[in-house]
Amino acid sequence: MKDILIEGGRALVDGDITETSLRIGGGKIREVGASPGRSAMTIDARDLLVLPGIVDLHGDAFERQMMPRAGVDFPIDVALFDSDHQAIANGITTVFHATTWSWEPGLRSGANAARLCAAIESLRPRLKADTRFHLRHETYNLDAEEEIMQWLRDGRVDLLAFNDHMDGTVADLAKPRKRNRMVERTGLASEEFDRLVARIIARAEAVPGSIARLAEAARQAGVRMLSHDDNSPAMRQDYRAKGVAIAEFPVNEETAREAATGGDAIVFGAPNVVRGGSHTGWTKASDMIEKGLCSVLASDYYYPAPLLAAFRLAADGIRPLPQAWELISAAPARATGLVDRGEIAVSARADLLLVDDADALRPRIVAVIAAGRPVHLTEADRISTLSTVAHQAVAAE
């Protein structure tokens, strides 16, 4: 792997922005404060920020590449490669594809989750971002319990989330637009969908026991867990007691405060920050950040959002950029147990972004380095290699 010198950028090191040069080798950061010298490649980072790569622990925008319109499917490999390009172009160097395994047929079925998991496993070496599998288990999907346990034992799951959208599903049955969207996603006739929902609801008493067994299996496998849309402090306490230490999108401040008191990681959506509020009308993420009740931002459904959100928080005076950037890099790395990334430090994984911040609210990715490899570049004249340097020297003689 090429030795790379990133020269003269404003780098985020130890919580401060400082002008320095970095040397990369073997996929890791080898030197901070590097002196100029012969390198296989030099990247001129003058006038640019040099930031740790974004770690996105929850993103499901890839679903739109798989099914851009209801009932219109594209091959999973095509969807994954396109999603990979989007993630990298927006500075996401570690991506957890949040895959819902529901009781529904269609896009969120077990068969589709299995195909996606297998595709990630086989394509991972060819993807630019470090791509991982975040399984979002719908807790009423009782028939999947044994197979999910086996996936956990086999090391196929990188994160396990507990989702319960049943109340929302029942409420949306009376809302024509939402109902139609749900039904189209499953491929069922309307009456078939109603009968399916009724059968699933009838098994409600078995759900708590299933959650407890799956949580124990995840603990045994060393897989970190999230609970989705916690709606009360009691609910968060119950999940914490089961070893679920990440609160994902708590729906009110009381629940977020309970998570903070318990030392849990608290995830909100970066689109919420960019748009100035939740599209569901729930908690405003920037308010939670200001109150110390949010420790992680995720792309959720829009890959450009983490980058934009960090700079929005800085521009609005809610957090200085180093602290805002922690929400999308170091903090999600810690929450998911990835201790080798999320900061610029010697021996850390060389996931780095070069960002033009001339427009405070529209940061522009100039280059992305993932595991020491340049994988995205918009300004080729910033790169020089030993061969081009040699040619320049000959021409100057």
Average pLDDT, the chain: 92
Asked whether residue 64 is domain-assigned, the answer is yes
Domain that holds residue 129: 54-335
What CATH number did the domain enclosing 359 receive? 2.30.40.10
Q: Are residues 35 and 175 in the same domain?
A: no
- 250 within 8 A of 256, measured Cβ to Cβ: yes
Stretch 332-361: mean pLDDT, rounded? 97
Residue 181: per-residue pLDDT:
81
pLDDT cut 70: percent of the chain above it: 96
Asked whether residue 173 is domain-assigned, the answer is yes
Q: Are residues 295 and 285 in the same domain?
A: yes
* CA–CA dist 313, 287 (Å, integer): 11
Which pTM was predicted? 0.92
Domain boundary among 296, 312, 335: 335
Q: Are residues 350 and 319 in the same domain?
A: no
Q: Are residues 379 and 302 in the same domain?
A: no
Q: Closest by alpha carbon to 12, among 249, 269, 286, 345?
A: 345
Asked whether residue 352 is domain-assigned, the answer is yes
Asked whether residue 340 is domain-assigned, the answer is no
Q: Are residues 204 and 189 in the same domain?
A: yes
Q: Are residues 127 and 219 in the same domain?
A: yes
- 183 within 8 A of 143, measured Cβ to Cβ: no
Q: Are residues 236 and 377 in the same domain?
A: no
Asked whether residue 29 is domain-assigned, the answer is yes
Angle made by CA atoms 260, 148, 296, in degrees to the nearest 5: 25
Q: Are residues 37 and 133 in the same domain?
A: no
What CATH number did the domain enclosing 261 receive? 3.20.20.140
Structural domain count, the chain: 2
Residue 393: per-residue pLDDT:
38
Residue 397: per-residue pLDDT:
43
Q: Which of 47-51, 120-124, 177-181 has the lowest mean pLDDT?
A: 177-181
Domain boundary among 335, 362, 386: 335
Q: Which of 13-17, 194-198, 277-281, 372-376 has the lowest mean pLDDT?
A: 277-281
Q: Are residues 257 and 358 in the same domain?
A: no
pLDDT, one tens digit per residue, over 266-289 is: 999 999 999 987 766 678 999 999
Q: Are residues 42 and 109 in the same domain?
A: no
pLDDT category of residue 194 using cuts at 50, 70 and 90: confident
Q: Which two tokens stand for residue 307?
A: 């980058």
Q: Are residues 141 and 201 in the same domain?
A: yes
Residue 279: per-residue pLDDT:
67
Q: Are residues 244 and 327 in the same domain?
A: yes
Q: Which of 159-168, 231-240, 379-388 has the lowest mean pLDDT?
A: 379-388
Residue 293: per-residue pLDDT:
98
Indicate the DSSP class of residue 311.
Answer: H
| Residue 396, pLDDT above cutoff 90 | no
Alpha carbon of 114 to those of 94, 107, 163, 260: distances in Å?
Answer: 21, 11, 18, 34
Question: How would DSSP label each residue in 56-102?
Answer: EEEE-THHHHH-SBTTB---HHHHHHHHHHHHHHTTEEEEEEEEEE-
Residue 386: per-residue pLDDT:
61
* CA–CA dist 21, 40 (Å, integer): 15
Asked whether residue 123 is domain-assigned, the answer is yes
Residue 1: per-residue pLDDT:
63
Domain boundary among 292, 313, 335: 335
* CA–CA dist 294, 139 (Å, integer): 25
Stretch 175-179: mean pLDDT, rounded? 84
